[in-house]
Structure 1
């Protein structure tokens, strides 16, 4: 790490809330500024570590204690070309969006790819988040999709920005592991996905098809895309109609339903299990 990368000019001390670099980074808390710059903020050592591993980090802001505590991470990011900028506690708090920030915030390059490009990689499992506006839910589903082995997550229609700070935190680094696509037309996205040979299943509590039956009859053996709607309103009728099947997660107890994150986990892992079983059988 060079002296220039590691700290401001001699005598300047740590950056403050008024330092132009900090002011510019704070603007990334607004979606329009994120999209204009093609950048976003990732907060906390876990997110910064995952961002650095994917070579997405442009700059790391950190308090002096945090930079020392995570010296190995900082050195690695700096070797990859990231600028490292010490900041005051006040400046770090202004950059962070949590009540108790962990001392590091990174400016990262947005990683969205066109849906067609994501599908060219041949993912066998895709999650489509249609009109999901809650960033915590969206980030959690993204994290679950990553854990289940999905190759792409599509934010479709008027969905939350995947680079919203709460969504980034809820993804726990998974944002840097999968292809993320943003598609303004959900119906068009379904058509594109189906055109690549994936079955498209709409997850809904009122589905005619039982998830267990679908899995038992081989319906999940092939490449699959799961379509999830908002927790409050579910999927609009036109998207339900565009899917190959409307699938419900069976409820065996007295609960009325599952929340979005839980239902998504059940569906995605059902597909992941079917894919693994098919691969083991072919071997």
Structure 2
């Protein structure tokens, strides 16, 4: 953040109620990059949007969306505005293996990539140690599942133990179960999973801009007075 950014943040804070400020600080204190979710070719907008909403509720700041065949479409009714508080990383370059590009980025950032697959050779989500490494959970297409590339290049296959006749869960339910298991462990550990002070400042400014009505006009007028 620049000196100008800090001045803008301080100015916008005058238009944010104390209640909203407290809520922002509470959310910021639990926000994390330590766990993220990757969606590979999800074709039903309500499913992808439900996953994003779940991720935001669980404190994740990032979600990665791979678009090889299926394009992600926003379903505002399901999202309830959750996407505006998160960073959505989309991999959708033509004539590119976007799965490979996403994997490369995540590995470069130090993530261990776990691919959700119902086969019995996968490790139970409840046995995953989320404190050792940053974790990226990948969930595949609703009909075809995860791609062969994802299965071959992931660091670990994971599964949700099930005890009925049905072999799979809806993707949004699967994500919710997996995140609940990992985030609960994370919060109960001594792992420093939160954002840095610099990240919090930048996010606070971004969120204040979204909270304050017509913040762009207010900011523009304020900057004129300090130039």
Class of the TM-score when normalised by the shorter of the 2 chains: 0.5 to 0.7
Q: CA RMSD in A?
A: 2.6
Distance 2:34 2:102 in 1: 16
Aligned residue for 1:279, secondary structure, equals coil
Unaligned runs of 5+ in 1: 1-75, 77-120
Distance 2:134 2:69 in 1: 24
| 1:44-102 Cα distance to aligned partner (Å, 9 max, x none) | xxxxxxxxxxxxxxxxxxxxxxxxxxxxxxxx9xxxxxxxxxxxxxxxxxxxxxxxxxx
Distance 2:135 2:104 in 1: 13
Unaligned runs of 5+ in 2: 1-15, 17-30, 93-97, 194-227
Verify the 8 A CA contact 1:132 1:230 in the aligned structure 2. Answer: yes
Of 114, 133, 141, the residue aligned with 1:230 is: 141
Map 1:137-156 → 2, pairs under 5 A:
137-156=47-66
Map 1:1-283 → 2, pairs under 5 A:
123-158=33-68, 161-162=71-72, 164-166=73-75, 168-184=76-92, 185-206=98-119, 208-212=121-125, 214-215=127-128, 218-219=129-130, 221-279=132-190
Residue 143 and residue 280 in structure 1: after superposition, are their counterparts in 2 closer, same or farther (change >3 A)?
Answer: same
TM-score normalised by length of structure 2: 0.62
Distance 2:34 2:120 in 1: 23
Instruction: Count residues with an aligned counterpart.
Output: 159
Q: Measure how far apart 1:169 and its partner are.
A: 2.4
Distance 2:55 2:87 in 1: 11
Instruction: Point out 4+ residue stretches in structure 1 off by more than 4 angstroms.
Output: 159-162
Residue 161 and residue 257 in structure 1: after superposition, are their counterparts in 2 closer, same or farther (change >3 A)?
Answer: closer
Q: Measure how far apart 1:247 and its partner are.
A: 0.8
Q: Measure how far apart 1:252 and its partner are.
A: 2.5
TM-score normalised by length of structure 1: 0.51
Distance 1:247 1:165 in 2: 28
Q: Measure how far apart 1:159 and its partner are.
A: 6.3
